[in-house]
C-alpha cells in the first residue's frame, strides 16, 4: 500500500516548524532594528514628523478605531523618540521582549496616524 501524499497545509506547517540557525535570526534582528532606527532619525532630522503627523488637519483612521484620536505635538514627538529608543534596544538585543512590544505598539499607532 502506498502512503498518501502530504497535504499542502501539512507540508507548509512542517517547513515552518524546522529549526532556524540563531545567527541568522540575530542578523535579522540587528538589521530590522537598525533600519527602524535610521528611519526614525531620518523622520526627525528632515522634520517629517511635523509635516505628516502634526500639521495636517485631517487624519485617516481604521474602521473600528475612530475612537483613537491624534495626540498632541509633544506626545507625537515623544512617540517618535520612544520608537527610536525601542528600535535601538531591538537592534542591540537589550530588554528585547519589552522593546519589541513597545516598538510594535508605537509603530502601530504611528502607522495608523501617518500619511
* Residue-range definition of the domain harbouring residue 49: 19-56+69-113
In a domain, 90, yes or no: yes
In a domain, 44, yes or no: yes
In a domain, 30, yes or no: yes
**For the residues 58-65, what does the mean pLDDT come to?**
72
User: pLDDT-based confidence at 1, cuts 50/70/90?
Assistant: low
- Res 2 pLDDT > 70: no
Higher pLDDT, 15 or 30: 30
Residue 4: all three cell numbers together: 498518501
Nearest 5°: phi and psi at 40? -60, -45
Taking alpha carbons only, the member of 46, 78, 76 closest to residue 59 is 76
Higher pLDDT, 12 or 61: 12
In a domain, 13, yes or no: no
The answer to pTM > 0.85 is: no
In a domain, 42, yes or no: yes
Q: How many domains does the chain contain in total?
A: 1
The pLDDT score that the predictor gives to residue 43 is 86
The pLDDT score that the predictor gives to residue 10 is 81
Amino acid at each position: 500500500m502506498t502512503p498518501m501524499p502530504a497535504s499542502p497545509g501539512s507540508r507548509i506547517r512542517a517547513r515552518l516548524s524546522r529549526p532556524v540557525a540563531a545567527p541568522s535570526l540575530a542578523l535579522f534582528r540587528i538589521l530590522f532594528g537598525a533600519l527602524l532606527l535610521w528611519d526614525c532619525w531620518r523622520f526627525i532630522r528632515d522634520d517629517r514628523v511635523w509635516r505628516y503627523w502634526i500639521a495636517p488637519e485631517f487624519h485617516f483612521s481604521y474602521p473600528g478605531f475612530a475612537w483613537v484620536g491624534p495626540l498632541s505635538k509633544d506626545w507625537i514627538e515623544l512617540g517618535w523618540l520612544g520608537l527610536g529608543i525601542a528600535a535601538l534596544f531591538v537592534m542591540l538585543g537589550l530588554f528585547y521582549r519589552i522593546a519589541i512590544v513597545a516598538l510594535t505598539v508605537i509603530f502601530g499607532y504611528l502607522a495608523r496616524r501617518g500619511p
